[in-house]
Amino acid sequence: MTATMSTINAALPTQVAAAAASAGLTVLSSAPAVDFNGNPTTRFTLALAASPEKTQQLELSQGFDLNAQPGNPDFASSIKLFFTEATTRLRNPRPDTYLTLHGIPLSFSQFSWPFHESSAGADTSVVHGQINLEDGEPSVLHAKIAAAMTLTFREIVPAPEQPFAEAFLFNAVRKTLDQGQLELVKSGNRQPVPITTRYYSTKQKKYTFNDTTAADRETFLMGKTFWLSGVLGNGEPVWLLDPRDAQYLNTTLAELKASIEALIKKGLIQLAHDPAFATPTAALMEKKAEYQAHLVEALAFIKPSFNEDMRGGHTNM
């Protein structure tokens, strides 16, 4: 379905610019676009005010109002949190890159917002995007994603827009890969990532993905520092207290901080000027062969052998 692009909603750019500025970001550009079903959206390019070369795309329904629910503190806090976290995340050498629990470094790109209704007739809302293997070497391995949010899960989310959904969607993708239900391929169709209420605790009223131990968290942060700073970031500091990782690991920032302190004592990482960021020590980078071997094992794990028909990730969503 296609539609003629309409002019940008006059109020939305002003609202986004104000929210960005309050978080230390600037809006480099905004342009009209359309979502999967041809509905008008606006795409913004956000950047650090101090480092405009680092950017993030924000796409919102053109009629979306950032101030739509002034009496709802969760709505307002979610908007503020998105911009605040983006400001810190953009200080990473590779802000688009994340690590899985199995130790696979991935970049996330080409995600088209907001959620759209499934064209396959299923009672789900869908977002398309892509993940790519990022191991410091030329690679064509990737997975085209069709993340499908169930109607029941949709009722939990304040709005099907990027600021409210990007964190749990990226974590659902990582979790699905952890389970061996996504494969990184050279070419193929979209692969489904189901987003259901199993990723939400009604008792705790929070998203939940992986139960982890202190040892798991140390291994994760050590791998994140190795790959995202040492291999992909030219040794630039990487953010180790990212709330998205805390959500993904079902942990707290305090527990992540304890893991950081443990790794410092082991001589594997060193803090940057900002203690939320760290770089690898020479001792950690000497483990390169171990990390490369572990990555090969992780990629072998997610390669399906039981159902060749699923290898292409066939889905019409």
pLDDT exceeding 70 applies to what percent of the chain? 91
Predicted pLDDT at 207: 93
**Chain region(s) in the chain for CATH 1.10.10.10:** 214-286
Span 288-312, pLDDT tens digits: 999 999 999 999 998 876 444 444 4
Question: What gap in Å lies between CA 312 and CA 47, rounded to an integer?
Answer: 35
Using the structure block, give the residue that is written with the tokens 């709330």: 243
CATH of range 214-286; options 1.10.287.3510, 1.10.10.10, 2.40.128.20, 1.25.40.10: 1.10.10.10
Taking a C-beta distance cutoff of 8 angstroms, is the pair 139, 186 a contact?
Answer: no
Strand-pair category, 124-133 with 105-117: antiparallel
Span 67-94, pLDDT tens digits: 887 667 788 889 999 999 999 999 999 9
- Whether residue 315 has pLDDT greater than 50: no
Predicted pLDDT at 3: 39
**pTM of the predicted structure, to 2 decimals:** 0.91
Residue burial 107-133, b: 16+ Cβ < 10 Å; e: rest: bbeebbbbbbebeeebebbbbbbebbb
- Tell me what the pLDDT averaged over the chain comes to: 90
Predicted pLDDT at 110: 94
What the block records as the tokens of 44 is 């913004």
Span 236-271, pLDDT tens digits: 999 999 999 999 999 999 999 999 999 999 999 999
- Whether residue 170 has pLDDT greater than 50: yes
Omega prior to 114 cis, within 30 of 0 = yes
- Whether residue 131 has pLDDT greater than 90: yes
Predicted pLDDT at 305: 60
